[in-house]
Chain A
Amino acid sequence: MITSALLGVQVANGLAVGALYALMAFGLSIIKGLLNVPNFAHGALFLVGAYVAWAVSGGSGSFWLGLLAAAAATALLGMAIERLLVRRLHRGAYLFQLLLLFGTALVMEQTVIAIWGGLGRSMSPPPWLTGAVDLGFSPFPRYLLFIVVAAAVVIAAVWALIERTWIGARIRAGIERPEMAQSLGIDVEALVTAAFALGAGLAGLAGALAAPLTGLSVTMGTDMLAIALVVVVLGGLGSIYGGVLAGLLVGVVQSLAALWVPQASTVVIYAAMILVLAVRPQGLLGER
């Protein structure tokens, strides 16, 4: 029996998971925009973020410190990956860049296992985020609401950074017209590093937010990467924000599908994606 309360909780759950997808896709799109390569290490950064948040908040007792540490650590890692590795390859050498990121992802994942062990962990949200708020027609678990709000705030902040500031104008110029940006004397190299750090930080933050929701496991990064890439494709060619919309959509669809076909909810989203792309090859918000 599917009650409205159950439906409500599933939608809430879907929105929260979707908000995480949106964060991931947003970061991927920023990196893809400047580097023109799907960041295969994005899932590993998500994983690192989750474990750092777990370790730091467990050690310090502060949930906020955990979030902050996760975002900062992954942003730094992203910066290092770009500076020390990706930069050494020619732009446009896709296969090599992909394999490089693939190798980097392996190293990060295995390092996490080497440090914290291969067993799953659980992390509870801080006490003030347990329980649920009643929205009238349905309860909305507090922590889920927190994820949605946190993701919205962060995405809005990054949006403001990109659309409203001097740095953002440069990032956009770098994404849309790299040659022109170069000829205007914009330091594209520095932008790429900044974008990579930003995208990586978003992935780490998403991991940290996910930890209390889904628990921690060493495969969480790979699973997340796969879905995030799908979300970016669904969002649309050349559209940074399409992924945000697609992320929420995928989260809700997946969560609702779990009501009817509990085992196959993940298959449903991949099938849906292929269907959507067959009908609308440019994705939801992409331009032809």
Chain B
Amino acid sequence: MTRSRMVGLGVLAGSILVAPALLSFSTASELLIFGLAAAAAYPVIGVGGLFSFGQAALFGIGGYTGGWLMAHAALPLLWPLLAGAAAAGLFATAMGAMCVRRSSIYFIMLTFAFNQLVYYAIYSWRGVTGGQDGLADIARPARLLPYLPGVNLDRPVNFYVLVAVIVFGCFLLLLRIVDSPLGRVLDAAKQNARRAAAIGYDIHRAQTLAFALSGVFSGIAGVLYAMLYWIMPIDAVAWVNSGNLVFMVLIGGLGSIFGAPIGAAVFILLQDSLSLVWDRWPLLFGLIVIGVVLFLQGGVLELGGMLRPALRRASGADAP
């Protein structure tokens, strides 16, 4: 593991520990959950350069699947979590297999169409999903694993610890994936697909696999989200949420997976503070999106990189 990775993980762990001191447990949990959803999008969007606008569908399928189980059966958390991850992973595999063969612009439109398919399916299937009102009455499980003693997840601090452990664990796995041969092949295909194929890589398979993995982790994030407010809102599946996830990856910085949680944090905090200022906060948010795209394409991580030499110079000038 390289030094910068260690530093990054240290900062992430530190932030997870400190967050509850600065924010409410629920805001801090939400921030981590979206951090995971954005990090799950990273192998596809950041490493693979595949601009998926279907991430909200994966998040939503996980949330609705896990949420439905939790609303209807008193199972240990393990099962809804696995079910959500599996459902989203399977859907992502099918979606990936159909989309990755398309050129970039059709790829974008197709992932978007898949997102809408899921949205309207959930919207129409009222009896199961609650339709427009969202899936309500989700109960946080009383046990994490079968045969183990129970935990009261309704206590905010317990829930936060659970979310933190799962999100951090998933993040480690995602980091592994990004650094793995699969990650390298995705990056190679992004840079030069023809060359990657000519040296013998099945790039469509690699990209489909990336989608599948992205689905699994998005699904896990979705299940956690379903528990957060005891309800799975249909807005979580709307395409705007896909756009938001892409934006989180981007605002954090496309160059590193560590940008994803940063982007999610910036997004959630921005949303929370803007919504206090003005009912029409999405307008301000839209302006911020435009500003970032026009002036800060490298995201927050690049901003940090730009500031670092300046800071060093400043501190160097202070030294005798």
Query: CB atoms of A and B under 8 A apart anywhere in the complex?
Result: yes
| Interface residues of A, Cβ cutoff 8 Å to B | 32, 36-38, 40, 85, 88-89, 94-96, 98-100, 102-107, 109-111, 113-114, 222, 226-227, 229-230, 232-233, 237, 263-264, 266-267, 270-271, 273-274, 277-278, 281
Are A274 and B104 in contact (CB-based, < 8 A)?
no
Chain B residues with Cβ below 8 Å from A266 are: 120, 123-124
Are A38 and B289 in contact (CB-based, < 8 A)?
no
Given contacts A237-B103, A270-B113, 7 further A-B contacts (CB under 8 A): A99-B247, A100-B294, A102-B289, A222-B238, A222-B239, A226-B116, A267-B121
A-B contacts, 15 of them at CB < 8 A, read A36-B105, A99-B247, A99-B293, A103-B286, A103-B290, A103-B293, A104-B286, A106-B283, A111-B283, A226-B113, A226-B116, A229-B109, A230-B116, A237-B106, A273-B113
Q: How far is the CA of A281 from the CA of B103 in the complex (A)?
A: 12
Are A274 and B290 in contact (CB-based, < 8 A)?
no
Taking CB atoms and an 8 Å cut-off, the chain B residues in 218-270 that contact chain A are: 238-240, 243, 246-247, 250, 254
Tell me which of A88, A94, A111 contacts B105 (CB under 8 A): A94
Closest residue to B118 on the A side, CB-wise? A270
Chain B residues with Cβ below 8 Å from A94 are: 51, 104-105, 108
Type the 1/0 row for B273-288, where 1 means its CB is closer than 8 Å to any CB of A.
Answer: 0000000101101111
Chain A residues with Cβ below 8 Å from B105 are: 32, 36-38, 94
Chain B interface size band reads: 35 or more
Chain A residues with Cβ below 8 Å from B246 are: 95, 98-99
Taking CB atoms and an 8 Å cut-off, the chain B residues in 275-320 that contact chain A are: 280, 282-283, 285-290, 292-294, 297
Decide if B59 is an interface residue (CB 8 Å cutoff). Answer: no
Are B287 and A103 in contact (CB-based, < 8 A)?
yes
Instruction: Quote the shortest CB–CB distance from A40 to chain B (angstroms).
Output: 8
Q: How far is the CA of A137 from the CA of B240 in the complex (A)?
A: 44
Are A103 and B108 in contact (CB-based, < 8 A)?
no
Q: How far is the CA of A114 from the CA of B243 in the complex (A)?
A: 22
Tell me which of B116, B126, B285 contacts A106 (CB under 8 A): B285
Tell me which of A38, A100, A102, A105 contacts B109 (CB under 8 A): A38
Decide if B194 is an interface residue (CB 8 Å cutoff). Answer: no
Chain A residues with Cβ below 8 Å from B68 are: none
Are A100 and B117 in contact (CB-based, < 8 A)?
no
Are B239 and A38 in contact (CB-based, < 8 A)?
no
Instruction: Quote the shortest CB–CB distance from A53 to chain B (angstroms).
Output: 22
Q: Given that A233-B109, A237-B106 are known contacts, is A110 also in contact with B117, CB under 8 Å in the complex? A: no
Closest residue to B116 on the A side, CB-wise? A226
Decide if B160 is an interface residue (CB 8 Å cutoff). Answer: no
Chain A residues with Cβ below 8 Å from B109 are: 38, 229-230, 232-233
Are A233 and B113 in contact (CB-based, < 8 A)?
yes
Are B101 and A102 in contact (CB-based, < 8 A)?
no
Instruction: Quote the shortest CB–CB distance from A283 to chain B (angstroms).
Output: 9
Chain A residues with Cβ below 8 Å from B121 are: 264, 267, 270
Are B113 and A99 in contact (CB-based, < 8 A)?
no
Q: How far is the CA of A105 from the CA of B109 in the complex (A)?
A: 16
Q: How far is the CA of A67 from the CA of B145 in the complex (A)?
A: 62
Chain B residues with Cβ below 8 Å from A229 are: 109, 112-113
Are B294 and A38 in contact (CB-based, < 8 A)?
no
Q: How far is the CA of A274 from the CA of B51 in the complex (A)?
A: 19
Type the 1/0 row for B122-156, where 1 means its CB is closer than 8 Å to any CB of A.
Answer: 01111000000000000000000000000000000
Chain A residues with Cβ below 8 Å from B288 are: 103
Q: Given that A98-B108, A277-B110 are known contacts, is A267 also in contact with B247, CB under 8 Å in the complex? A: no
Decide if B114 is an interface residue (CB 8 Å cutoff). Answer: yes
Chain B residues with Cβ below 8 Å from A233 are: 106, 109-110, 113
Decide if B98 is an interface residue (CB 8 Å cutoff). Answer: yes
Type the 1/0 row for B82-122, where 1 means its CB is closer than 8 Å to any CB of A.
Answer: 00000000000000001001111110111011101101110
Q: How far is the CA of A102 from the CA of B286 in the complex (A)?
A: 8
